[in-house]
A = this chain, B = another copy of it.
Amino acid sequence: MTPVATEDLRRQNTASVLRSLRHDGPATRTELARRTGLAKATVGTIVGALVDGGHVSESDAVPASRGRPGRPLVLTGGMLVGLGLEVNVDYVSAVAIDLGGAVRLERTVAVDGGDPYDVAVGLAQLAAAELTGEGIRLTGATVAVPGLVDRRNGVVAMAPNLGWRGRPVADDMGEATGLPVAVENDANCAALAEARRGATVGLGQSVYLTGTVGIGAGVISDGAIVRGTSGFAGEVGHIPLGDPAASCGCGRQGCWEASVGLRAVLAAVGVSEDGTPLEAAEAVSRRAAADPGAAETLEGVGVLLGKGVATMANILNPDAVVLGGFFVPLAPYLLPAVVREVEAHVTAAPYATLDVRLSTLGLRAAAAGAAEEALTQVFTGATAV
């Protein structure tokens, strides 16, 4: 495994330079040499190729205190773009992000009754045509799906909300668009998005917990998604630490989701399930503002939520846990209890702080994360620029 020839060296070092520009911002060649540990001459060669390729450009010289002023290099990366698609029951979103992190395209299309897959293919083809028209090279597309995804073969094993089962999305969509297509769980994508451009930028390890209809988690370690053996990691909706008496939609008792999922919350507070999860959660929030009993109920949800967060933290020891989805509008009522439970139950609490944060990216997180994922192979050196 991992055969390494001398050209792979260049790829790795190029990726190292790109990562440094991405992660620590613009820098002169000399500064980059210091950051990466490479020789000045080597950085010069690598940067030369990147400038030729249009991925990096020199900004105006900034005179340092003394000596010849350096010319800082900026990731423009207009040429390399990753495409992310989020497939959901009622909408499909596309986001394209370039090497520099800029959003180059953003579309959302409603799905009216038909198969979301067809909408996704159409959107992907549209985006690909539009982007390549500008002379852009797409590194690939990643499709974020709410369900169990087997990464090894690009098959969606099960996506109950979409009604998909054993669907070879990567192969099918790859053929339809001519792009290398990967499939990924939506919570994983959102977690990556928060880690690259949201609430957990700069942290080594983080967990993203989203509440939409179900509960899903994404785990990020050193900028990469942790997938487990078959890509099913982070399927936390049905871990058995909810109220043992609560019946879950899956037929089991005591699932976490059955106590802290959207339906459970709506039922507990007595709000009807209208509109999107976020709209419903906002209705709950309004009710809690008016009704102390409802606020207290939410605090109870927060306790159970905190127990689950503490459980994940004990197993994974992340720097931060990010709450997303419908947890965000309810945060004022949930967060105090969550923080309390975390402090009570996380073994490492006195020695390593665990931040509980709120998602900053909102609904766009999954698609943006999918686009970032489509770009990662460039930053890891797996693909040549």
Q: How far is the CA of A346 from the CA of B44 in the complex (A)?
A: 52
With beta carbons under 8 angstroms apart, the residue of B234, B318, B347 that contacts A238 is: B347
Q: Are A351 and B3 in contact (CB under 8 A)?
A: no
Q: Mark contacts of A286-327 with chain B using CB atoms, 8 A cut-off: 1 yes-contact digit, 0 otherwise.
A: 000000000000000000000100111011111100000000
Do A316 and B318 touch across chains, with their CB atoms under 8 A apart? no
How far, in whole Å, are A351 and B20 apart by their CA atoms in the complex?
39
Q: Which residues of B contact A150 (CB under 8 A)?
A: 351-352
Q: How far is the CB of A17 from chain B (nearest CB, A)?
A: 11
If over half of A's interface residues share one DSSP class (helix, strand or loop), that class is named, otherwise mixed; here it is loop
Q: Which of A61-69, A107-115, A123-131, A224-232 contacts B (4 or more CB under 8 A)?
A: A224-232
A38 at the interface (CB under 8 A from B): yes
Q: Is the CB of A315 within 8 A of B312?
A: yes
Contact residue among B36, B228, B311, B352 (Cβ-Cβ distance under 8 Å from A3): B36
Query: Which residue of B148, B311, B345, B351 contacts A230 across the interface (Cβ within 8 Å)?
Result: B351
What's the least CB distance linking A380 to chain B, in Å? Answer: 10
* Chain B residue, CB-CB nearest to A203: B229
Identify the stretch in A4-12, A76-84, A269-277 within 8 Å (CB) of chain B at 4 or more residues: A4-12
| A53 at the B interface (CB under 8 A) | no
Number of copies: 2
Residue pair A12, B2 in contact (C-beta under 8 Å): yes
Interface centre among A231, A235, A314, A344 (most CB of B within 10 A): A314
Q: Is A157 an interface residue (CB 8 A)?
A: yes
10 interchain residue pairs of minimum CB distance: A228-B317, A3-B37, A232-B348, A233-B317, A235-B347, A232-B317, A230-B352, A239-B311, A157-B351, A205-B229
Q: Which residues of A contact B (CB under 8 A)?
A: 1-4, 6, 9, 12-13, 16, 19-20, 36-38, 148, 150, 157-158, 203-205, 217, 219, 221, 226-241, 252, 307, 310-312, 314-319, 341, 344-345, 347-348, 351-352
